[in-house]
Amino acid sequence: MNEMPKVPYRIQIRYFALLKDLVGQGEEVLGIPAGSTAGDIYLLLAEKYAFPLALTDIRIAVNDEFTSTSHPLQDGDSLVFIPPVAGG
């Protein structure tokens, strides 16, 4: 029996600071498999763009609120990876 194809969710990712420099743009839209967590997507993109930061070095925001790396993403979510901050 054929497996049902997974319907990809579309999420928006915004990049800041070091990550934006490495990606070369401030945002992109990504199709992801249903059931992906924010951490899954970070690891995927960290490999693609050679991010020097481990998952434990960043914080995650979904829809402009802090959350955990295990946050399950929904269709239409906005995702931000937050490298160590340096305000003040």
CB 35 within 8 A of CB 9: no
| Cβ 41 to another protein shortest distance, Å | 17
Measured distance CA(69)–CA(77) in Å, rounded: 14
Among positions 21-50, residues that touch another protein (CB under 8 A) are 21
| Cβ 18 to another protein shortest distance, Å | 4
Residue 61 is a binding residue for another protein (CB under 8 A): yes
**What phi and psi values does residue 87 have, to the nearest 5 degrees?**
-80, 180
Residue 70 is a binding residue for another protein (CB under 8 A): no
| Cβ 13 to another protein shortest distance, Å | 12
Among 6, 10, 17, 33, binds another protein (CB under 8 A): 17
